[in-house]
Chain A
Amino acid sequence: MAQSNTIRILDGNTFVVSEDTGDIEATPSEPTGLFSLDTRFLSRWVLTVNRERLNALSFDDLQYHEARFFLVPGMATHYVDAKLSIIRQRSVGGSFREQLTILNHDEKAVDLEIRMDVASDFADLFQVKDEILNKKGEIYSEVEPDRLRLGYRRGNFKRETVISSSKPARYDSDGFAYTVHLEPNEQWNADIDVETSAVGPGGRDLRMGLRSHGTERLALQHDLEEWIAKAPKVNSEHGRLASTYRRSLIDLAALRFSPLSLGGQTLPAAGLPWFMTMFGRDSILTCLQVLPFAPDLSKTTLRILASLQGTRFDDFRDEDPGRILHEMRYGETAAFEEQPHSPYYGSVDATPLFVVLLDEYERWSGDAALVRELERECRAALKWIDDYADLMGNGYVWYERRNTDTGLENQCWKDSWDSISYRDGRLPGFPRATCEVQGYAYDAKMRAARLAREFWDDPAYGDQLEREAADLKERFNRDWWVADGEYYALALDAEGRQVDTLSSNIGHLLWSGIVDDERAAKVAAHLVGPRLFSGWGVRTLAEGEARYNPIGYHNGTIWPFDNSFIAWGLRRYGFGEEAATIANGILDAATYFNGRLPEAFGGYPRDLTKFPVEYPTACSPQAWSTGTPLLLIRTMLGLEPHEGHLAVDPRLPIGMGRIEVLDIPGRWGRVDAFARGRLDLNKLAD
């Protein structure tokens, strides 16, 4: 979907995807359009001058919320003669605005018929890749003297697109037009405004004027500058790290999303543009990655997820009391319960990770008030782990969807249908328990034990959690260790058998601390060994497994976010060189993507392809790929809150040169960290 010739701008979950001319002609294979609230509000937006289509000379992606297109009439073969220039400058911020500028370079006057063809199919985001044949509601258009109103009505569900212009235009049901006379060197402008609305029967918009940040262009620009000014500065001897960091910071700003129910506070959405919504897992993991740089995101994420924590049993939404949501959507399919995302709770890891984030956030920020505020939700999350996730009654966290129609089969981060397989490629039945989730549950209990003692005044609960965690760790190390391979199984099946493939998931176990000390070296060796490590990063599935495929979505590609947590885990167990090896590989890869790491790239050996082969995906930037360089900086510098101050213990590869991170915020105020590359990673490979 993210063809290189599509241009995207956005603000919150309003975004425009168009061709490089600025035109929109949506088809199932080219899902362009103006989208808001998970609904397409424009599926056709085609500019012509004297009935001729326009051709792109160039475009500028000015900011994430604005773009500019330079166009001339006619096709590529004869535009050299063009006597007209057309500039479309557009931005989103509340509404979608496009300024048309037409310049006459001819020595004679010209008469122009300027027309925009307009239509909307009001497709739900879930339907944009389908042929939309039978919408259940009615699409209408109303031509008014000064505006064109396109609408969709299904019962009380109503979405409208209202188009108006600063210059008088002639509106008809398929668009609007201007007749313009231009003298030599004269120019003409018009400002077109496209308002999207989600109106209820009372005439109130569902969004009620809530915005993530100011809606005006200047306010957005100001907000971005403030965001960058507030974040720590990263300087590096080699410019690439500093520029990757800056790219990530800007993308992170674009990914901020303000849910309807939270009065304008923001959390990181999962990815641009198709996943500009709340995701439990993605938002939490991104917050963990960026904590040293943008701690405020954690606070709002925790609050939002807490405010929507499950309270009842709902089989359609896979909701249980205490469960943290997976995904929230606002479109027609969610509204009419054709999809369960209102919100959907089918994630097995978001709940323990919620507890992990709260503790990690407090360790950095010292925000004891939030830990007290969320005590009830934390306890409910921990109770969910014990009471509702243990489907086999044997003390592990399992998943099996109750919504067998539209729910998710795999409720761990590797959520594609074939991501969990035995060595021989067979897929286990349900329920399934994947290894990394047991690690998260262990970590959640250990961290909650600290919170219980220090903030909830409940040392007995702390003791209980620690006992349970110790018990889990002991059983886990007994039941999941694959003796003949010397690593932890990817999962257990319902019969208690090991799903015995070697996978990247074992790196998350190091991060969680569930790995027995004497086994950590084996796990670390696998992670940087030839079956898992490609030279760029750790593959999701090891070479040699039946389902291994270097471009298999969860079966062999390399996921930058996955690697950042693996590097963190390696450092936790004292494997600084191995962590630096992974950090180095991923940051090298980032330079091939201009500092914007993709969701995943191919697992081919580095010495075979010489460059990382991008996996074609829908979303870029992706939040947890954006957060990856930030977590890798933390990992390489060994930044760790320690007894109220920030400890720095760098392990940098030699080629990394000198790195400084200035003004790291936390309970210590703001401090700087410096590091110099000293590790010879080539030695490691010997």
Chain B
Amino acid sequence: MVDATTRFFEDLDRRGFEPLLAKTSGTLRFDLHEGAQTTHWLLEIDRGRVQVSRQDREADAVVGTSPGLFEELAAGREHGLASLLRGDMTVMGDARLVVQAERLFPGRPAARGPRRLFQREVR
């Protein structure tokens, strides 16, 4: 089974266009550090068009975190902005890119959402 991290990036790459990033352009690199090893994921965003690669290239913003935390984020079990405030995730460069990309993480798997008391057809 593929991990949530890989699935998150591969899905993003497959979609090609992400409406939530339609106003965003720039490069954003995720560095997932574990011991001496670092895994890189690079997002090249051009007004919503997203390309994902594993390059270790200079980027407008670089996010650093552990593979463990990223896995939780990609699965919706942890929250990106809270992780940033906590210092469990760090940012170098243009924070706006990170705040925009954070919105791509899914919600909590157990989230109930608004509960409609009387059902009607959803339009």
CB-defined contacts of A494 to chain B, threshold 8 Å: 117
Interface contact B23-A373, CB-CB below 8 Å: yes
Q: Bound complex: CA of A343 vs CA of B80, how far in Å? A: 11
Interface contact B123-A386, CB-CB below 8 Å: yes
- Judged by a CB distance under 8 angstroms, whether B52 is at the interface is no
- Judged by a CB distance under 8 angstroms, whether A157 is at the interface is yes
Within 80-113 of B, Cβ neighbours of A (below 8 Å) are at 81-82, 84-88, 90-92, 94-96, 98-100, 103-108, 110-113
Interface contact B81-A319, CB-CB below 8 Å: no
- Judged by a CB distance under 8 angstroms, whether B29 is at the interface is no
- Judged by a CB distance under 8 angstroms, whether B35 is at the interface is no
One of A79-87, A197-205, A587-595, A653-661 at the interface: A197-205
Shortest distance from the beta carbon of A68 to any chain B beta carbon, whole Å: 35
- Known A314-B111, A373-B23, A393-B118; contact A155-B86, beta-carbon cutoff 8 A: yes
- Judged by a CB distance under 8 angstroms, whether A263 is at the interface is yes
CB-defined contacts of B94 to chain A, threshold 8 Å: 263
Interface contact B79-A337, CB-CB below 8 Å: yes
Interface contact B107-A204, CB-CB below 8 Å: no
Shortest distance from the beta carbon of B119 to any chain A beta carbon, whole Å: 6
- Judged by a CB distance under 8 angstroms, whether A330 is at the interface is yes
Q: Bound complex: CA of A261 vs CA of B99, how far in Å? A: 7
- Judged by a CB distance under 8 angstroms, whether A260 is at the interface is yes
Cβ-neighbour of A206 out of B76, B85, B113, B115 (below 8 A): B85
Q: Bound complex: CA of A308 vs CA of B23, how far in Å? A: 13
Cβ-neighbour of A202 out of B19, B90, B105 (below 8 A): B90
Q: Bound complex: CA of A307 vs CA of B21, how far in Å? A: 10
- Judged by a CB distance under 8 angstroms, whether A456 is at the interface is no
Q: Which residue of A lies closest to B19 (CB)?
A: A376
Interface contact A202-B103, CB-CB below 8 Å: no
Interface contact B90-A208, CB-CB below 8 Å: no
CB-defined contacts of A337 to chain B, threshold 8 Å: 79, 82
Interface contact A208-B118, CB-CB below 8 Å: no
Interface contact B119-A393, CB-CB below 8 Å: yes
- Judged by a CB distance under 8 angstroms, whether A513 is at the interface is no
Interface contact B64-A202, CB-CB below 8 Å: yes
- Judged by a CB distance under 8 angstroms, whether A367 is at the interface is no
CB-defined contacts of B88 to chain A, threshold 8 Å: 155-156
Q: Which residue of B lies closest to A334 (CB)?
A: B85
Interface contact A155-B87, CB-CB below 8 Å: yes
- Judged by a CB distance under 8 angstroms, whether A335 is at the interface is yes
CB-defined contacts of A331 to chain B, threshold 8 Å: 85
Shortest distance from the beta carbon of B65 to any chain A beta carbon, whole Å: 10
- Judged by a CB distance under 8 angstroms, whether A100 is at the interface is no
CB-defined contacts of B20 to chain A, threshold 8 Å: 311
Interface contact A388-B113, CB-CB below 8 Å: yes
Interface contact A342-B120, CB-CB below 8 Å: no
CB-defined contacts of B117 to chain A, threshold 8 Å: 391-393, 431, 494
- Judged by a CB distance under 8 angstroms, whether A262 is at the interface is yes
Shortest distance from the beta carbon of B69 to any chain A beta carbon, whole Å: 10
- Judged by a CB distance under 8 angstroms, whether A296 is at the interface is no
- Known A307-B99, A308-B99; contact A313-B82, beta-carbon cutoff 8 A: no
- Known A261-B96, A319-B107; contact A335-B114, beta-carbon cutoff 8 A: no
Shortest distance from the beta carbon of A496 to any chain B beta carbon, whole Å: 11
- Judged by a CB distance under 8 angstroms, whether B122 is at the interface is yes
Shortest distance from the beta carbon of B105 to any chain A beta carbon, whole Å: 8
- Known A200-B90, A204-B91, A312-B106; contact A335-B85, beta-carbon cutoff 8 A: yes
- Judged by a CB distance under 8 angstroms, whether A443 is at the interface is no
Interface contact A312-B118, CB-CB below 8 Å: no
Cβ-neighbour of A262 out of B87, B96, B98, B115 (below 8 A): B96
Interface contact B107-A313, CB-CB below 8 Å: yes
Shortest distance from the beta carbon of A334 to any chain B beta carbon, whole Å: 6
Interface contact A335-B82, CB-CB below 8 Å: yes
Q: Bound complex: CA of A320 vs CA of B99, how far in Å? A: 17
Q: Bound complex: CA of A319 vs CA of B116, how far in Å? A: 15
Cβ-neighbour of A313 out of B87, B104, B112 (below 8 A): B112
CB-defined contacts of A343 to chain B, threshold 8 Å: 81
**A251-289 CB contact bits vs B (8 Å, 1 = yes)?**
000000000111100000000000000000000000000
- Judged by a CB distance under 8 angstroms, whether A315 is at the interface is yes
Q: Which residue of A lies closest to B88 (CB)?
A: A156
Most A C-beta atoms less than 10 A away, residue of B19, B84, B105: B84
- Known A314-B107, A402-B114, A494-B117; contact A261-B90, beta-carbon cutoff 8 A: no
CB-defined contacts of B100 to chain A, threshold 8 Å: 307
Interface contact B114-A391, CB-CB below 8 Å: yes
Cβ-neighbour of B107 out of A308, A312, A335 (below 8 A): A312
- Judged by a CB distance under 8 angstroms, whether A394 is at the interface is yes
CB-defined contacts of B95 to chain A, threshold 8 Å: 208, 210, 260-261
Interface contact B96-A313, CB-CB below 8 Å: no
Interface contact B96-A394, CB-CB below 8 Å: no
- Judged by a CB distance under 8 angstroms, whether A122 is at the interface is no
Within 374-409 of A, Cβ neighbours of B (below 8 Å) are at 376, 386-394, 400, 402
Interface contact A389-B114, CB-CB below 8 Å: yes
Q: Which residue of B lies closest to A390 (CB)?
A: B116
Q: Which residue of A lies closest to B31 (CB)?
A: A202
Shortest distance from the beta carbon of B110 to any chain A beta carbon, whole Å: 8
> Apart from A208-B95, A313-B112, A334-B82, what 20 extra A-B contacts exist at CB < 8 Å?
A155-B88, A156-B87, A156-B88, A157-B86, A201-B87, A210-B95, A262-B96, A307-B99, A308-B99, A311-B20, A313-B107, A314-B108, A315-B111, A319-B107, A334-B85, A335-B85, A337-B82, A387-B122, A391-B114, A393-B120
Q: Which residues of A contact B (CB under 8 A)?
A: 155-158, 199-202, 204, 206, 208, 210, 260-263, 307-308, 311-317, 319-320, 330-331, 334-337, 342-343, 373, 376, 386-394, 400, 402, 431, 494
A-B contact pairs, 8 of them (CB 8 A): A158-B87, A206-B84, A260-B99, A261-B98, A343-B81, A391-B114, A393-B118, A393-B120
Chain A to chain B: the 5 pairs with minimum beta-carbon distance, closest first: A312-B107, A156-B87, A335-B85, A261-B99, A313-B113
